[in-house]
Structure 1
Amino acid sequence: KRKRKKRPPGNYRCDFNGCEKVFSRAEHLARHKLNHNPTVIYNCPWENCLKSFVRKDLLERHVKRHEIRSHPIHNPTTNPQDPENSNNAASPSNLISWLFDENQADMGHLDTGPNFSGGNFFNPNDDPFGLSSNLLDDILQIPPNFPNPAQQTLITPEIRQILINLVPAIANHEYFNHLETFLDLYWTCFHVQYPILHKPSFNTFTCHPILLLSMIMTGASYAKCEPNNFFKNDKNPREFADLIADPLRLIIFSCEEFHPPSQVYIIQSLLLLECYERFATNRKLHERAFLHHGTTIQLLRRSPGLGGNPLKNKTEYNRRHNATIWEKWIEFESVKRAALFAFYIDSTHSMVFGYQLMLFSNHIQLNLPCDDDLWESYLTPKEIPNRNDSMPFLVGLKKILNREHVNTGIFGKKILLAGLLSIMFQMQQRDLQGSILEFEQLRDTWKDTLSLAFDYWNCDIMKSCCNSESSYLLKNESLKTLRPFSLSQSDTRCKLPVYHMAQITLRIQHYDYYIFAGAPWRMNVQAEASDYELVGKKVREWANSPNGRVSVVYAYLFLFEMFLTPQDSVDQLNLPYDSDSDAVLNRLNVLALVTLLTWSYNFVLKGPESTPLSGSTELVSTKNLYSIEDGYNYLRRVRNDLSRLTGRMLHTLKPIDSVTFHNTVLQYAFHLESVENKHFMTGLLGMISTRFEECYWEVGNEFSRLIENCRRRSFGSDKVRCDDMY
C-alpha cells in the first residue's frame, strides 16, 4: 500500500485535559470539542442499536446507514448477468450526501472529505446577478453598441505590423497573408465548440495583440479542416502556427501585465496556447504545456476578477453609461467562462493524458455559463425568445448525479461533464488511499452511480455524444462555407470522445493498458521489465472481469461511431478518417487510447491473430503480411454479432434513454465473450496506425508506432517493448 502523506500539524489545539489532538481548521476543533462537552446527546432510534452522538447530523448519517443495510442495492456494473435491472441501481443520494455535505464528521486532523462548502477560490457570490435577476435585465434592456461583424476578423496594415513586432518570423511565411482566414477558422472551428470569447463585441482593433496571436495560431491549426481545400498544398498551416506558438509563452510571461491580478486576455491566451501545445504540434511544446499548466491555474486562483461584484450596486447604474456596463458584464462573463474552460481542460486532459488534477469540483462555486443565445446575440435580452437562466455549477452537478434534467447551454453541458470527471478522480484517489467514505456500502456503489450519471449526461442531456446540435453552436450561418464536415450536422461520429474515456477510466487506469501495449516510458519514467510483468497481470485480471467487458463495450462503441454509419441509417457506409482534418479536440488522442485498450483486451485473452513473426524480436515491417479481415469489416462484424446476440442496437441515429442505453451496454458486455475472433485485429490496427502516421501532431506519430507494435505482436512477434515509439 502507498503510504499516506502526513499532514503538517495544525494551529488549533484542543485544550481539554489529557487531549492532545491538533486541527488545521477552527471549525474542526469546534466540532471536536462537542465530544468533550456535548450540549445534547442524540440516541439512535433503531432497535438494538445503542450508539449515541453529540451532533444531529452524525445521527442522521448513522440512521441512513441502517436504512441502506436494510434495503440491499443492485449493482448493475459488476453484475451484468441481470442487465435488465439497472433501473434499480444504487441510489445516488449516498454519494451526493457525502460530496455535498456541509457538516463533515470530525475526521481528526486528517481533512479527508472534499468539503464542498468553503475555502474555495471561486466564491458563490462571484456571480452577483444570475440571469433571472432584475438588475441584469435592467442593464441589458437597451441595445449594446457592438462593432460591425467584419471587425471580428479584419487585419489592417497597422495590426499586421504590431503582430510582426511580437513575432518577426511570421512576416516572411507564405501564409502570413491569410491571417483573416485563420481568424475566420477560429470562430468557425474552435469558438463553436468552446465559446470563451464574446463574439458580438469582439474587435480586432481593441483586442490585445497577444490574444489575437493566440486566436490566429488556433485558427491556423484548423486550416487543413477547411472544406474548400484551400490549404491542401505541401506546406501545412500548422508550420505557421508553430512560428507563433514557439515564442508565444515567453511573450506572455514577459508581458508587463503577466502577474496577479491577471487580465482576462492573459488567461484566455494561455488556455488557447495550452490546447494547441497539447493536441496540434511537436513533442517539445506538448511537454511544455504540462509544465506550465499550473501557472494558468495559479493565475486564476489569485485573480480578483473572480471575486466581488463588477457592478457595486444598482444605484451606480445610469442609462447614459449603458455601453460601459455592457462591457463590464461581458468581461465578468468572459472571466467566468475562462475559469470554467480551465477546469474543463484540467479534467479532460487529466483523463486522456493520465496526469493529476489541479482543480476539483468543489473549487468551482460559480454559476454555469449564461444562455447561449444571449452570449451569441446582437439583440437585447428582451428580444431573445425562451432565454434560460443559469444555475450554480454545483447545483447542476448535483442534478446530474441525481439523474435530473439540467437546462443549460452547449458549453455548460461540457462543464458538467468535467465536473463528473473531477468527482471520479477524487473518488479513485480516496479509494487508493484507503480513506474512502465512512460506510462500506458507498465504497461498492459510487462507480455505479457515476457510470449511470455519465450515461444520463450522454443520453438525456446531450441526446447522444454524436448529436451536433447539442455539441456545437451551429446557428450562425455566416461562416458556413468554412465549416469542416466534422463540425456539420451531417456528421454522425462522436463529438465528445471524453465521454467514452470516462466510462473506460472508471474501470481501468490509463497507465496499465498503455504500458501493456509496449510503451517504453510514460511521463518520462522508464518502464522496466517488472512493470510490463505487473501490468500484464493487472490487464489479464481486468479483461476477465465484468467491469473489463463493460469498458471494452464503450471502447467498441466509440470505434463504431468513428468508422461506421449508425445501424438504423439508410446507407450502411464506411466513414473515412483524416487526422489533420479532424476539428474535434481530444478525438485523435482518444482514438489511439481506445484502440490500445481494445487490442489489450483481445490480445491478453486470445493472443495473436496469426504467427508469421513468431520468434522475431526485431522491428519488422508488417506491410506485406496478410490480415484475415480489414478494419471496417472487423468492426461491422463485431457490431452485428453483438446486436444479434442481444436483440438490441446500441449505435443508432435515434436517441436512446439512459436506462435503456445502460441496460444494453450491460447486455453487450455479458455476451461479449460469445463474439468470435475478436482478436483478428491486424487489419484495424494497420488502418488506424496509417491514419496516425499521416498526421502533423508528433504525439500522433508516436501513437502510430505504438499501434504498429501491437500489430506486430498480433502477427506473433515476441518483442513487447516499442523501442522506436519516441
Structure 2
Amino acid sequence: MGGDQPNDNFATWLFDSPGSHNDAFDFNNVPFLDFGMEYASRDFWSLDQTQSSNVYDGLNNRTYSTPSVSSEQRFMDVVDANSHISISGGRREAIVMLLSLFMMKKKPRLDASVPTDSILYGAESGDWPNLTILALESCLRAFWRDTAAQVPVVHQPTFSANACEPLLLVAMVALGAAARVRSKPKESVRDYRTFADFIATNLRWELFTHDHAQPPVHLWVAQTLLLLELYEKMHSTRQLHERAHIHHASTLTLLRRGSPMVGRSGSETPPSEAPTRPGSPNTSVPQHDFTTTAKPASDTRSWWKRWVANESMNRVVFAAFQMDTLHACMFGHSADILPHELRLPLPCDDSLWTAKTGEEVRRLENTFAMYRIKQPNFLDGLKRCLHGYEVQTHHFARMIFMAGLLSVAWHINRREKHLQFVETIPSVQEQARWKSLLLQAFGHWRQSFSEVLGDTAHRSSGGSRDAPARDASDPTTLFHLAHLTMHVDIIDIQILSGPKRLVGRRVSDKDRASVVQRVKAWASSSVARHATLHAFKLLQANLCRSSNGGRMSDGSPGWTYSCRNDPFVYRPWILYLAGLTVWAYQYATSQSNNTPINTASFTTTGLPSQSSAADLAKQYISSCAVTDNEDRIPMLLSQEGCIAVLQILAQDFVNAEAEILLEASKRMQECIRLLKEQAKPG
C-alpha cells in the first residue's frame, strides 16, 4: 500500500492476506488525529528511548523520600539478589511518612471492629507500629509472586525497593497486600484489605499532582498508574472500580502525548549512540556490535540501565493496550486504543527480560542475532496472527496478539452498530468475512499458544496458587472470552438480570423492556447457541477439573475451583459472564416458548435425584460442553442444571474480596430467583 493510493486505510491493509500487493503499509496515509502532530516516517519505528535517560529517571525525591543517591549508584546497588523485596529501615520510615501524609489529607473510614494489632493501628497519632519491615516485605513477595507476571512492566532484576520512587513502591505493596488477603481465608487478614484500599484511595491524587505526571510521562509514573488501575479495577471497592474507568483515559493521554506508543520522536531527544535492542526496526540510529570490543563494566551498567528503561516503557504501552481491550470486553466499556496506534516492535523475549546482568543480556542478544531471531513489530505480527500464520514469539507477546485480535473485533462491532444507527447496514458478505477470519484467528492463536505451553495449557490453573506464572494467563479462558465477545452483548444480558444501575447509569424500565426484546431475538439466533456452547466449554475448562489441587469452595464438597485461589485476576469475572450467558439463553428461550424447558433429556442421564448442587452443576456443564453441535444446545437445557451452576458460582463469589464479585454473587442469586419464578405454573 503506497503513497499513490490515498484512499487506502489500515483495515484494508490488515484484512488483506500477508504477501499481497498491500503488504507494505504506509502509515503516512492514515490520519492519526489523536496525536495532534505529524511524525516523520523514520520516527514511527524508532525505539531509541535510551537517548534520554533523564526522561525516565523518575527517581527525584519529595519530602517523604529517603536521602538521594546517584542513579548510577542505585543501579550498582541492585546486584543484591534480594533487592526487589528487601526494605531498609530508612525506606520503611519513608513509607510511613508518605502514608502519614495520606492520613492527614484524608482519614480512612476504619471499621470500629478492626483489632489493635491491625496494620493501620496507631495511624491517627502519626505512628504505625504494626507496619513493620517484615509486613512490607511480605507484601512485596506476594506482588512478585501473583501480580508481576500478569502485568510485566517492572524489571525485577534491576528493581530496588530502597531506591525506587516511593509512590511506585506503595502501589506494588497495595497489590501485594491484596494478594495476601486472597491467599488467606476470608476475614482472616481484613486489615491488609483496608490498608490496600487506603493506599489506592490516596495514591492517584498524589500521582496526578507530581511534577513527573505530565508529557513526556516518566516511566515510574506510567508504571504506577497501570498498577493502580489494576488494583482499583479488580481488587477493590465499587467506588474505586468506577474511578479507575474515569481516569483510564488520562493514563492513555499521558502515553499518547509523550509518544511512547510510536517510539520516541527524534525532535524530543538529543542524538545518542546508545544501541537499541535487536529487532527494533530503527533506521535512524546505527546498531553497534559489542562482540568485537570489550566494554568497561561501568559502560555495561549504563547501557543496561538505558536498555531496561527502553524495554520497560515499551511493555507499559502494551500492558495498557491489553488492559484497555480486556476491560472493554469484560465490562462493556469503550476500547480507547486503536491497534494502529501501537507502532512498536513487540517486547523483548522473556529470557532477556529476566536476565540478571547486562552481560547476560548482551550474550543472549548476540545469540539471537547469530540465528537471525528477532521480534517482529506489533502490527506485522498482528496481521500474520489474524490470517492464521505462525508467529514465533514469547508468552507476553502472545497475550498482546490476543488483545490485538479482541481490539479489532471490538472496533469492527462498534463500527457496525454505528452504521446501523445511520441506516447504512454493512453487507452480509462483509460481516461474514471479517467474523470468519477473526474466529479462525482465535482458534489458531489458542492452538499455537497451547502447543507452546504444552499440556498445562489445557489444564486450568484456577484454584491452584502454586501454578506456574505463565499459567496465570490461561489461553483457553481468553479464547472462549473472545467468542463470547463476538456473540454476546455483555451489557444487555446484565441488564436482563435486573440491576438498578449499570456502568454508572440508572437502568430505566424502558431500557429493560428494550433489552428483553433484543435478548429474545438474540436467543432465537445461531449466534446465541454458539455463545452458549462456548460459555459451557469455558465453565467446563475451569470448574470441572479434579486435578487442580486447590482448596474446596465453602459449602461445595468436591468442587475444586475457588476464586480466592485463582492466580489469573480476570478469570472469576469471565466465569461470571459465562454463567450469565447460559442463564440469559435459558431464560430468554423459556420466555419465548412461554413454557419451561422440558428437562427430561437431562434428568434421565443417570443423575441421582438427591445430588448435591456441585454434582448437578458438573453433570449439566459436562453434558452440554461435550457436544460440538450448537443446534443440540436447546435440547440439553435444564432449569435445574442452570440453577445449580448459578448457585455454585454465587457461593464461590460470595467468598471474594473485590466488591464487583460480591455484586456478581448477588446477581447470580437474582438470576436463580427469576428462573424459579419462571418455572412456576400459570
Instruction: Give the TM-score range, shorter chain.
Output: 0.7 to 0.9
Residue 691 of structure 1, CA deviation: 1.7
- Give yes or no for contact 1:352–1:590 (8 Å, CA) kept in 2: yes
Residue 594 of structure 1, CA deviation: 1.5
- Give yes or no for contact 2:236–2:657 (8 Å, CA) kept in 1: yes
- Give yes or no for contact 1:564–1:574 (8 Å, CA) kept in 2: no
Partner amino acid for 1:126? S
After superposition, the Cα gap between the structure-2 partners of 1:641 and 1:253, relative to the gap in structure 1 and judged at 3 Å, is closer
After superposition, the Cα gap between the structure-2 partners of 1:150 and 1:506, relative to the gap in structure 1 and judged at 3 Å, is same
Write the distance in 1 (CA, Å) between the matches of 2:397 and 2:679.
Answer: 48
Q: Is residue 495 from structure 1 mapped to residue 474 from structure 2 by the alignment?
A: yes
Which residue in 2 is equivalent to 1:279? 234
Write the distance in 2 (CA, Å) between the matches of 1:155 and 1:189.
Answer: 19
Which residue in 2 is equivalent to 1:12? none
Write the distance in 2 (CA, Å) between the matches of 1:519 and 1:157.
Answer: 49
- Give yes or no for contact 1:200–1:376 (8 Å, CA) kept in 2: yes
After superposition, the Cα gap between the structure-2 partners of 1:250 and 1:390, relative to the gap in structure 1 and judged at 3 Å, is same
Which residue in 1 is equivalent to 2:671? 710
Write the distance in 2 (CA, Å) between the matches of 1:640 and 1:361.
Answer: 39
Which residue in 1 is equivalent to 2:484? 504
After superposition, the Cα gap between the structure-2 partners of 1:717 and 1:196, relative to the gap in structure 1 and judged at 3 Å, is same
Aligned partner of 1:433 among 415, 418, 422? 418
After superposition, the Cα gap between the structure-2 partners of 1:336 and 1:113, relative to the gap in structure 1 and judged at 3 Å, is closer
After superposition, the Cα gap between the structure-2 partners of 1:515 and 1:465, relative to the gap in structure 1 and judged at 3 Å, is farther
Write the distance in 2 (CA, Å) between the matches of 1:399 and 1:604.
Answer: 39
**SS of alignment partner, residue 256 of structure 1:** coil
Aligned partner of 1:244 among 193, 199, 213? 199
Instruction: Name stretches of at least 5 consecutive residues in structure 1 with no aligned partner.
Output: 1-26, 33-54, 65-90, 131-142, 475-482, 613-625, 647-666, 720-726
Q: Is residue 640 from structure 1 mapped to residue 638 from structure 2 by the alignment?
A: no
Please say which of residues 182-191 and 304-313 is displaced more in the overlay.
304-313
Partner amino acid for 1:700? L
Residue 461 of structure 1, CA deviation: 2.6
Which residue in 2 is equivalent to 1:723? none
Partner amino acid for 1:508? V
**SS of alignment partner, residue 151 of structure 1:** coil
Write the distance in 1 (CA, Å) between the matches of 2:522 and 2:453.
Answer: 26
After superposition, the Cα gap between the structure-2 partners of 1:552 and 1:182, relative to the gap in structure 1 and judged at 3 Å, is same
After superposition, the Cα gap between the structure-2 partners of 1:326 and 1:145, relative to the gap in structure 1 and judged at 3 Å, is farther
Residue 499 of structure 1, CA deviation: 3.1
Residue 701 of structure 1, CA deviation: 1.6
Which residue in 2 is equivalent to 1:201? 158
Partner amino acid for 1:207? C
Write the distance in 2 (CA, Å) between the matches of 1:293 and 1:96.
Answer: 37
- Give yes or no for contact 1:563–1:632 (8 Å, CA) kept in 2: no
Aligned partner of 1:682 among 640, 643, 655? 643
Which residue in 2 is equivalent to 1:190? 147
What does residue range 632-671 of structure 1 map to in structure 2 within 5 Å?
632-640=615-623, 643=626, 646=627, 667-671=628-632
Partner amino acid for 2:417? L
Write the distance in 2 (CA, Å) between the matches of 1:231 and 1:705.
Answer: 17
Partner amino acid for 2:45? N
Write the distance in 2 (CA, Å) between the matches of 1:574 and 1:599.
Answer: 23
Q: Is residue 363 from structure 1 mapped to residue 341 from structure 2 by the alignment?
A: yes
Partner amino acid for 2:493? Y
Write the distance in 2 (CA, Å) between the matches of 1:419 and 1:251.
Answer: 32
Q: Is residue 254 from structure 1 mapped to residue 205 from structure 2 by the alignment?
A: no
Which residue in 1 is equivalent to 2:44? 124
Residue 366 of structure 1, CA deviation: 0.6
Greater helix share, structure number: 2
| Deviation per residue, 1:354-373 (Å, 9 max, x gap) | 11111110000111110101
Which residue in 2 is equivalent to 1:460? 448
| Deviation per residue, 1:342-391 (Å, 9 max, x gap) | 11111111111111111110000111110101110115146549755211
Which residue in 2 is equivalent to 1:408? 393
Which residue in 2 is equivalent to 1:329? 307
Q: Is residue 586 from structure 1 mapped to residue 576 from structure 2 by the alignment?
A: no
**SS of alignment partner, residue 167 of structure 1:** helix
- Give yes or no for contact 1:468–1:487 (8 Å, CA) kept in 2: no
Residue 632 of structure 1, CA deviation: 3.8
Residue 462 of structure 1, CA deviation: 3.8
- Give yes or no for contact 1:224–1:231 (8 Å, CA) kept in 2: yes
After superposition, the Cα gap between the structure-2 partners of 1:566 and 1:441, relative to the gap in structure 1 and judged at 3 Å, is farther
Residue 267 of structure 1, CA deviation: 0.4
- Give yes or no for contact 2:216–2:258 (8 Å, CA) kept in 1: yes
Write the distance in 2 (CA, Å) between the matches of 1:382 and 1:105.
Answer: 35
**SS of alignment partner, residue 126 of structure 1:** coil
Write the distance in 2 (CA, Å) between the matches of 1:322 and 1:124.
Answer: 28
Write the distance in 2 (CA, Å) between the matches of 1:231 and 1:410.
Answer: 32
Please say which of residues 156-165 and 682-691 is displaced more in the overlay.
682-691
What does residue range 91-240 of structure 1 map to in structure 2 within 5 Å?
93=16, 102=25, 124-127=44-47, 146-168=78-100, 169=103, 170=120, 172=128, 174=130, 176=132, 177-226=134-183, 233-240=188-195
**SS of alignment partner, residue 686 of structure 1:** helix
- Give yes or no for contact 2:174–2:200 (8 Å, CA) kept in 1: yes
After superposition, the Cα gap between the structure-2 partners of 1:324 and 1:346, relative to the gap in structure 1 and judged at 3 Å, is same
| Deviation per residue, 1:203-255 (Å, 9 max, x gap) | 112211111111111111111344xx599735252222112111111111122
- Give yes or no for contact 1:602–1:679 (8 Å, CA) kept in 2: no
After superposition, the Cα gap between the structure-2 partners of 1:164 and 1:415, relative to the gap in structure 1 and judged at 3 Å, is same
Q: Is residue 351 from structure 1 mapped to residue 329 from structure 2 by the alignment?
A: yes
Residue 698 of structure 1, CA deviation: 1.3
Write the distance in 1 (CA, Å) between the matches of 2:528 and 2:182.
Answer: 36
After superposition, the Cα gap between the structure-2 partners of 1:504 and 1:365, relative to the gap in structure 1 and judged at 3 Å, is same
Residue 498 of structure 1, CA deviation: 3.7
Write the distance in 2 (CA, Å) between the matches of 1:122 and 1:425.
Answer: 30
Residue 448 of structure 1, CA deviation: 1.3
Residue 323 of structure 1, CA deviation: 1.2
Which residue in 1 is equivalent to 2:317? 339
- Give yes or no for contact 1:120–1:362 (8 Å, CA) kept in 2: no
After superposition, the Cα gap between the structure-2 partners of 1:676 and 1:492, relative to the gap in structure 1 and judged at 3 Å, is farther
Which residue in 1 is equivalent to 2:432? 444
Instruction: Name stretches of at least 5 consecutive residues in structure 2 with no aligned partner.
Output: 51-74, 104-119, 121-126, 275-285, 289-294, 550-556, 597-608
| Deviation per residue, 1:5-26 (Å, 9 max, x gap) | xxxxxxxxxxxxxxxxxxxxxx
Residue 486 of structure 1, CA deviation: 3.6
Write the distance in 2 (CA, Å) between the matches of 1:691 and 1:605.
Answer: 27
Residue 683 of structure 1, CA deviation: 2.0
Write the distance in 2 (CA, Å) between the matches of 1:329 and 1:161.
Answer: 31
- Give yes or no for contact 1:563–1:574 (8 Å, CA) kept in 2: no
Aligned partner of 1:312 among 272, 275, 279? 272
CA RMSD of aligned residues (A): 4.4
- Give yes or no for contact 2:350–2:395 (8 Å, CA) kept in 1: yes
Partner amino acid for 1:240? F
Q: Across the two proteins, how many residue pairs are aligned to each other?
A: 573
Partner amino acid for 1:671? R
Which residue in 1 is equivalent to 2:70? none
Residue 684 of structure 1, CA deviation: 2.0
Residue 114 of structure 1, CA deviation: 13
After superposition, the Cα gap between the structure-2 partners of 1:464 and 1:517, relative to the gap in structure 1 and judged at 3 Å, is farther
Residue 634 of structure 1, CA deviation: 2.7
Partner amino acid for 1:596? L
Aligned partner of 2:658 among 688, 697, 710? 697
State TM-score, norm by structure 1: 0.70
Please say which of residues 94-103 and 437-446 is displaced more in the overlay.
94-103
Which residue in 1 is equivalent to 2:225? 270
